[in-house]
Each structure stands twice: as structure tokens, then as C-alpha cells.
Amino acid sequence: MVKNYTDQQLLDKVKSLPTFKQIPAHEWLLGVRSNEDNPDQFDDKIYFFKGEQFITVTSATTNPGVSILKGGFKSYNNVGAAMLVADQWYYNIWIKGKHRGKATGLLQRGAKVKVHRDGDMDNKSEATSIIQEGMFGINFHPNTHDFNAMITKKTIGAWSAGCQVVNDMVKYRQIMNAMPERVLISYCLLNEF
């Protein structure tokens, strides 16, 4: 799992990025991608902030699942599985909606994102030199369609083809219930530091 950070360490790090403009005044999310990257495991973290105030943190994945890495990506893009480029801000990318028409989540309806395309079909997510920018449906959602579920799943499976996915439904509901309606949400993704 990703090591623990203080709120100030996280805020200092996100402010040091070349793509930093400002801390959003309202709710925003911060992902930290684990250096371990255990295949098909929720070994990353997502932090929830309102301005500079920390609200909560949950386990998550910022990597595609093994079934996507081993060829499932071809249903979405022939070049490779999408892996969001880290150490970067993505301002105003998400808005509250239904992921695939089922799960309450945040949908990429605002700005473009940058993704690495990992097409070597092994079980590890790699930050490749193939980078694409665009609207790829890189959403924020849970690993179930049941918003009221009380589960915490252990494996990613096909739940992430590049999306940022939470596996703790109690924490996920806390985050989503606090998200404003009809407001574009920003995201910053860091590599573990």
C-alpha cells in the first residue's frame, strides 16, 4: 500500500507540479499511485479535499485491471490499456453522473486527460512512451453497480480500464454524497513520493 502522508505534504507536492494553477475552492480529488503496483490489487489511495481541507482517504486503483492489461483493452483502444499520466493536475474534468448508466460516479465530461498506452499484454501497468490526450471516458467510480453495497473488494478485475476506481463503498458513498451537483471536479494524480 501507499505510504501515509500528512495533509501538508500532499498539498506541498501538488503545488510543486508544473501543471499546478491553484487549489480548487470546492471539492476535488487527489490520487496517489503506489510504487509497488501489485497486479489486480487496490493498492493506491484517493484523498478527498475541499479547498485545502482534508476530508477523507480511501483505498483505490489508478491502474487498469489484469484482464484489461492482458488484451481486454482491445475493446476500447487497439494501442493499449489506458493508464492516466501521473504527477499532473487535471482541472475540471469530471461531473457527477452515472458511470455506464448504472453506478453513481464522476464522468469525464470536462477537460481532456493524458494516458499512457500499455499494450505489451502482461499483468503490470507501465508508464510507456506512448501518450495520448483526449476524452477517453476516464471516470471515477466504485467497483460495483450497487451504490448501497457494504462490500470492500480485493481485486480490480475488469472494473478499471483506465478509470480511477474505489473499492471501499462506505468511503465512496461519503465522497459522492459530498460532491456538488453540476460542478466540474478537478483531479490531481501523483506517483508515490
| Average pLDDT over every residue of 150-175 | 92
- Rounded to whole angstroms, the Cα distance separating 187 from 148 reads 25
Quote the pTM value.
Answer: 0.94
Q: What local confidence, expressed as pLDDT, does residue 80 receive?
A: 95
Q: What local confidence, expressed as pLDDT, does residue 112 receive?
A: 98
- Whether the Cβ atoms of residue 97 and residue 147 lie closer than 8 Å to each other: no
Burial of 110-147, coded b for 16+ CB within 10 Å and e otherwise, reads beebbbbbbbeeeeebbebeeebeeebbbbbbbbbeeb
Model confidence band, residue 34 (pLDDT cutoffs 50, 70, 90): very high
Q: Which domains does the chain have, with CATH numbers?
A: 7-65+83-113+137-191 (2.40.440.10)
Residue 149 has pLDDT above 90, yes or no: no
Model confidence band, residue 19 (pLDDT cutoffs 50, 70, 90): very high
Q: What local confidence, expressed as pLDDT, does residue 86 receive?
A: 98
Q: What is the pLDDT of residues 108-134, one digit of tens each?
A: 999 999 999 999 999 999 999 999 999
